[in-house]
């Protein structure tokens, strides 16, 4: 029993799980639990069993690496059966976290006691899975179907106090957990707590109106779209209210297996590991320590600067927001207070917390006010001269060792760093809009960025609860570079016969929350138009170039902000516009292209292959460290459906040889942009996986049932 100790406290046996760091339900733990249950059963002098976690937590979850593999006995199922059949009361004593299979282990015990600060939950849905150890059957019996639905379909953790109110936890520990658990066992033995069989309990599930489930499905239909797991969860909870425990559990097992073997689950598990790996810097010495960041400056109080200031204020850091005029600052503060007011009115933020956060932001037009800042983030206009001027000023006032970051979307971070006397302290922090909402942060490492600067930026990202992905200092970094590649392909598809609404429909049917053209309209077409005008000065003349986007801007159509872009807008809802279709048809005619109907499947294949091929180039150039990093960027910053794992994972699942063949065929028809990336070709030849040097970097043994601590 090396992963489990079994000792006696008088007539009560205590089984302590010891599988650091999170006491995951490994084979060794399962064997130990089974032996402990059997030993307590066989030993007449043992009258009750307490199961508790050693170290900082109860059993935090199943081992994610076990999903999709054949079950090795004793499985969790066998343990649950043994617990349910145990003639002696078993008490789960929970501290730290009890998630997923770990929680189900506790739910199968007759009684549960928890430290008040413990957390429980069924996070499986976040990995495309569902509770598989009876969770959908225990929860409605303990807390009623409404709570069961909310907890299991959201995957969010629940505090022990809340769970106690719901009746899922029977008692909160008042002093030492083990002592209180032993006392609880004595209460059970003395009859002070009545004997019970939860599987037979029907108080909370009797006479439930079936409409409850249909309404819940209807309410969430849009959110869940083509996801498998949440629908299955509702089916199983509904079954719990109709069937016996055993019948419901059987149904749950079948549904779990279906989820476990789904592409969705594989994709979400890939992302879980990819997000964890993204925060690690494989080429940085572990001895490099991040510098503390306690005060922050933000330069530019526009859309991005305002959101960035909120991020830091929300994380508890004082922020000094600088702009050129009091009017600009007032505009910025209006954006900020408006955002807080919206959160308060939606009920997602208490007024008091909004007030505290707002009070952390002070404004200034005086550079000297930034002298104390440990980190200064610049978010002024996207113009090299303006940014360089700002960095010269920052260099003059910032204290030694302060980190100077630019939020540029397209400019050369090194050219910005170059105007300072401290290029090692400069890097890019590319926030996404709205910065206070979007979790992605591209951390752009310039050629002279010091390892300490990078390490500090990654630590800052953790403070902000952002998912940081390191990018090399190359045009468009990771996300916008790929957006450029597939956006270009979408423009060519328009010239060849597609319409913006067809392409957008194909993308939303694939799972993007919004189509590409609707997204451009939302972001504003003029910003990127201005950037294109600059780029056009140096663009090689022989390369194919679509003028459609420029012509739309020349018509004064800048998207939602002007009520017209690719679409017509009434408020924010887009309507296809015949004027745009006519313009596109004209462009095709001018180019001598005979328009043809393009099947949806071809549109999707061309867009996704363009993403994957560009992604492979980005990897080859070392702009991204791992294929998984690209997926993390695309899912968290660009709406790529998480259930499909990101563009690189999509290609991997489709088979790299078939992607290479498709790219090669497009190259023959559509020319230079489609040159297959050498990495894609090599990877396809090497057996259909990305080059070993650019694997998805899944750690082999990381274990936890929680997707929320990624
Ligand atoms: P914006 O026009 O809304 O705001 C820019 C702000 O900078 C204005 O308040 C302006 O007064 C101020 N400013 C200009 N020059 C200044 C100076 N010399 N000193 C101090 N303040 C100055 O622009 P934005 O959309 O917030 O973009 C800012 C930066 O963020 C750009 O580099 C942009 O490329 C980048 N970015 C934008 C987005 C986006 O979606 N808007 C996303 C990621 C990155």
Of 602, 580, 583, which Cα lies nearest the Cα of 670?
Answer: 602
Average pLDDT for residues 433-443, to the nearest whole number?
A: 95
Of 676, 669, 627, 671, which Cα lies nearest the Cα of 648?
Answer: 627
252 catalytically annotated: no
Out of 38, 104, 509, 554, the active site residue is 104
CB of 382 within 6 A of ligand 1: the answer is: yes
305 Cα nearest atom in ligand 1: 26
Going by alpha carbons, the residue nearest to atom 39 of ligand 1 is: 433
Mean pLDDT for the chain overall? 93
Going by alpha carbons, the residue nearest to atom 10 of ligand 1 is: 300
* Distance (Å) from CA 387 to ligand 1 centroid: 10
What is the DSSP-derived secondary structure letter of residue 338? H
pLDDT of residue 696: 44
523 Cα nearest atom in ligand 1: 40
Output the six-digit token pair for 294. Answer: 């306690």
Helix (H/G/I), strand (E/B), else coil: 262: coil
Of 155, 49, 166, 160, which Cα lies nearest the Cα of 113?
Answer: 160
**pLDDT band per the 50, 70, 90 thresholds, residue 198:** confident
Our mutation pick for probing the ligand 1 site, out of 301, 304, 386, 638, counting the most ligand atoms within 8 A of Cβ, is 304
pLDDT of residue 435: 96
Length of the chain equals: 710
Q: Using an 8 Å Cβ cutoff, are 298 and 309 in contact?
A: yes
Average pLDDT for residues 5-12, to the nearest whole number?
A: 96
User: Is residue 399 over pLDDT 70?
Assistant: yes
Our mutation pick for probing the ligand 1 site, out of 298, 302, 475, 560, counting the most ligand atoms within 8 A of Cβ, is 302
Q: Using an 8 Å Cβ cutoff, are 47 and 189 in contact?
A: yes
CB of 394 within 6 A of ligand 1: the answer is: no
Q: Using an 8 Å Cβ cutoff, are 478 and 624 in contact?
A: yes
User: Is residue 158 over pLDDT 50?
Assistant: yes
Q: In what order do the strands lie in the sheet with 12-17?
A: 4-9, 12-17, 48-53, 90-94, 111-114, 171-172
Going by alpha carbons, the residue nearest to atom 36 of ligand 1 is: 409
Of 261, 274, 256, 278, which Cα lies nearest the Cα of 124?
Answer: 256
Which run of H or of E encompasses 196?
none
Our mutation pick for probing the ligand 1 site, out of 298, 299, 305, 442, counting the most ligand atoms within 8 A of Cβ, is 305
Output the six-digit token pair for 694. Answer: 């650019």
Average pLDDT for residues 440-449, to the nearest whole number?
A: 96
User: Is residue 710 over pLDDT 50?
Assistant: no
Task: Report the C-alpha gap between 500 and 243 in whole angstroms.
Answer: 49
**Helices of type H across 279-383:** 303-314, 326-346, 351-359
pLDDT of residue 269: 92
Helix (H/G/I), strand (E/B), else coil: 488: helix
* Distance (Å) from CA 323 to ligand 1 centroid: 10
pLDDT of residue 225: 85
489 catalytically annotated: no
Task: Report the C-alpha gap between 7 and 109 in whole angstroms.
Answer: 18
Read off φ and ψ for residue 127, nearest 5 degrees. Answer: -110, 20
* Distance (Å) from CA 272 to ligand 1 centroid: 33
pLDDT of residue 539: 86
CB of 328 within 6 A of ligand 1: the answer is: yes
Non-local (6+) Cβ contacts of 129 within 8 A are 67, 229, 256, 259, 260, 265
Read off φ and ψ for residue 90, nearest 5 degrees. Answer: -120, 130
409 Cα nearest atom in ligand 1: 34
Average pLDDT for residues 86-96, to the nearest whole number?
A: 96
408 Cα nearest atom in ligand 1: 32
**pLDDT band per the 50, 70, 90 thresholds, residue 363:** very high
Out of 38, 72, 124, 496, the active site residue is 124
The alpha carbon of residue 180 and the mean position of all alpha carbons in its chain are separated, in whole angstroms, by: 38
% of the chain exceeding 70 in pLDDT: 96
Read off φ and ψ for residue 464, nearest 5 degrees. Answer: -80, 0
Q: Using an 8 Å Cβ cutoff, are 86 and 49 in contact?
A: yes
CB of 390 within 6 A of ligand 1: the answer is: yes
Read off φ and ψ for residue 613, nearest 5 degrees. Answer: -65, -40
pLDDT of residue 701: 28
pLDDT tens per residue, range 119-139: 999 999 999 999 999 999 999
* Distance (Å) from CA 383 to ligand 1 centroid: 9
Our mutation pick for probing the ligand 1 site, out of 309, 365, 379, 405, counting the most ligand atoms within 8 A of Cβ, is 379
* Distance (Å) from CA 538 to ligand 1 centroid: 25
CB of 104 within 6 A of ligand 1: the answer is: no
Of 607, 398, 395, 403, which Cα lies nearest the Cα of 500?
Answer: 607
pLDDT tens per residue, range 16-37: 999 999 999 999 999 999 999 9
Average pLDDT for residues 218-231, to the nearest whole number?
A: 93
* Distance (Å) from CA 231 to ligand 1 centroid: 43
CB of 302 within 6 A of ligand 1: the answer is: yes
Q: Using an 8 Å Cβ cutoff, are 17 and 59 in contact?
A: yes
CB of 323 within 6 A of ligand 1: the answer is: yes
pLDDT of residue 133: 95
Going by alpha carbons, the residue nearest to atom 43 of ligand 1 is: 432
Going by alpha carbons, the residue nearest to atom 9 of ligand 1 is: 302
pLDDT tens per residue, range 169-191: 999 999 899 999 999 999 999 99
* Distance (Å) from CA 454 to ligand 1 centroid: 23
User: Is residue 704 over pLDDT 70?
Assistant: no
* Distance (Å) from CA 683 to ligand 1 centroid: 40
CB of 388 within 6 A of ligand 1: the answer is: no
CB of 524 within 6 A of ligand 1: the answer is: no
Q: Which residue is associated with the tokens 């957990």?
A: 177
CB of 364 within 6 A of ligand 1: the answer is: no
Average pLDDT for residues 129-156, to the nearest whole number?
A: 97
CB of 404 within 6 A of ligand 1: the answer is: no
* Distance (Å) from CA 392 to ligand 1 centroid: 17
Of 144, 143, 141, 67, which Cα lies nearest the Cα of 100?
Answer: 67
Q: What is the pTM of this model?
A: 0.89
Our mutation pick for probing the ligand 1 site, out of 297, 298, 299, 300, counting the most ligand atoms within 8 A of Cβ, is 300
CB of 363 within 6 A of ligand 1: the answer is: no
pLDDT tens per residue, range 556-578: 999 999 999 999 999 889 999 99
Q: Using an 8 Å Cβ cutoff, are 135 and 107 in contact?
A: yes
* Distance (Å) from CA 523 to ligand 1 centroid: 14
pLDDT of residue 688: 67
Non-local (6+) Cβ contacts of 392 within 8 A are 419, 420
Of 479, 478, 421, which Cα lies nearest the Cα of 448?
Answer: 421
* Distance (Å) from CA 553 to ligand 1 centroid: 21
pLDDT tens per residue, range 596-642: 999 999 999 999 999 999 999 999 898 998 999 999 999 999 999 99
CB of 303 within 6 A of ligand 1: the answer is: yes
Of 339, 341, 353, which Cα lies nearest the Cα of 307?
Answer: 339
**Lowest pLDDT segment from 57-71, 440-454, 666-680:** 57-71
* Distance (Å) from CA 379 to ligand 1 centroid: 5
Task: Report the C-alpha gap between 185 and 178 in whole angstroms.
Answer: 10
């Amino acid at each position: 029993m090396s992963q489990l100790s079994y000792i006696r406290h008088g007539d009560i046996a205590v089984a302590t799980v010891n599988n650091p760091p999170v006491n995951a339900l490994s084979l060794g733990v399962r064997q130990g639990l089974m032996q402990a249950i059997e030993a307590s059963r066989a030993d007449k002098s043992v009258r009750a069993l307490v199961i508790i976690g050693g170290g900082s937590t109860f059993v935090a979850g199943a081992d994610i690496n076990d999903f999709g593999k054949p079950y090795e006995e004793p499985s969790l199922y066998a343990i649950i059966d043994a617990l349910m059949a145990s003639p002696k009361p078993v008490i789960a004593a929970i501290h730290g976290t009890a998630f997923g299979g770990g929680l189900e282990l506790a739910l199968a015990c007759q009684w549960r006691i928890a430290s008040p600060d413990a957390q429980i939950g069924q996070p499986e849905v976040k990995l495309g899975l569902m509770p598989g150890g009876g969770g959908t059957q225990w929860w409605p019996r303990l807390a009623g179907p409404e709570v069961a639905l909310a907890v299991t379909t959201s995957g969010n953790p629940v505090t022990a106090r809340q769970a106690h109110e719901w009746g899922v936890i029977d008692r909160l520990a008042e002093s030492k957990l083990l002592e209180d658990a032993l006392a609880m066992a004595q209460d059970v033995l003395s009859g002070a707590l009545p004997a019970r069989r939860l599987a037979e309990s029907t108080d909370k599930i009797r006479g439930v109106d079936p409409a409850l489930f249909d309404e819940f499905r209807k309410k969430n239909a849009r959110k869940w779209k083509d996801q498998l797991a949440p629908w299955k969860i509702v089916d199983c909870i509904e079954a719990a209210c109709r069937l016996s425990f055993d019948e419901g559990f059987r149904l749950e097992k079948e549904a779990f297996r279906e989820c476990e073997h789904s592409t969705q689950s594989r994709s979400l598990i890939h992302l879980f590991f990819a997000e964890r790996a993204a925060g690690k810097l494989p080429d940085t010495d572990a001895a490099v320590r991040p510098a503390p960041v306690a005060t922050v400056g933000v330069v530019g109080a526009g859309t991005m600067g305002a959101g960035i200031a909120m991020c830091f204020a929300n994380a508890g850091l004082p922020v000094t927001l600088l702009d050129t005029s009091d009017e600009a600052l007032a505009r910025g503060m209006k954006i900020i207070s408006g955002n807080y007011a919206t959160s308060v009115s939606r009920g997602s933020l208490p007024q008091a917390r909004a007030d505290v956060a707002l009070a952390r932001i002070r404004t200034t037009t005086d550079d000297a006010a930034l002298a104390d800042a440990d980190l200064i983030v610049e978010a002024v206009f996207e113009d090299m001269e303006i940014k360089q001027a700002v960095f010269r000023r920052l260099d003059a006032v910032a204290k030694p060792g302060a980190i100077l970051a630019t939020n540029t979307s397209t400019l050369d971070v090194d050219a910005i760093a170059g105007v300072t006397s401290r290029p090692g302290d400069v890097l890019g922090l590319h926030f996404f809009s709205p910065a206070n909402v979007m979790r992605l942060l591209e951390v752009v490492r310039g050629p002279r960025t010091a390892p300490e600067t990078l390490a500090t930026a990654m630590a800052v990202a953790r403070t902000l609860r952002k998912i940081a992905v390191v990018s090399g200092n190359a045009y468009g970094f990771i996300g916008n570079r790929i957006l450029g590649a597939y956006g270009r392909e979408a423009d060519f598809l328009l010239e060849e016969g597609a319409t913006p609404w067809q392409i957008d429909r194909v993308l939303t049917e694939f799972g993007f929350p919004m189509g590409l053209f609707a997204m451009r309209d939302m972001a504003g077409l003029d910003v990127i138009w201005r950037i294109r005008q600059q780029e056009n000065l140096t663009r090689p003349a022989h390369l194919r170039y679509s003028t459609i986007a420029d012509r739309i801007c020349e018509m004064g159509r800048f998207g939602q902000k002007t009520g017209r872009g690719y679409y017509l807008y009434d408020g924010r809802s887009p309507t296809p516009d015949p004027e745009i279709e006519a313009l596109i048809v004209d462009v095709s005619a001018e180019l001598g292209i005979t328009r043809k109907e393009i099947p949806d499947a071809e549109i999707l294949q061309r867009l996704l292959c363009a993403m994957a091929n560009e992604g492979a180039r980005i990897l080859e150039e070392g702009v991204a460290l791992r294929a998984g990093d690209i997926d993390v960027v695309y899912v968290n910053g660009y709406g790529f459906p998480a259930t499909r794992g990101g563009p690189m994972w999509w290609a991997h699942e489709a088979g790299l040889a078939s992607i290479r063949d498709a790219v090669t065929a497009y190259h023959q028809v559509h020319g230079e942009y489609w040159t297959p990336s050498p990495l894609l070709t090599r990877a396809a030849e090497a057996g259909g996986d990305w080059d070993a040097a650019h694997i998805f970097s899944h750690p082999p043994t990381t274990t936890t049932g929680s997707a929320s601590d990624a």
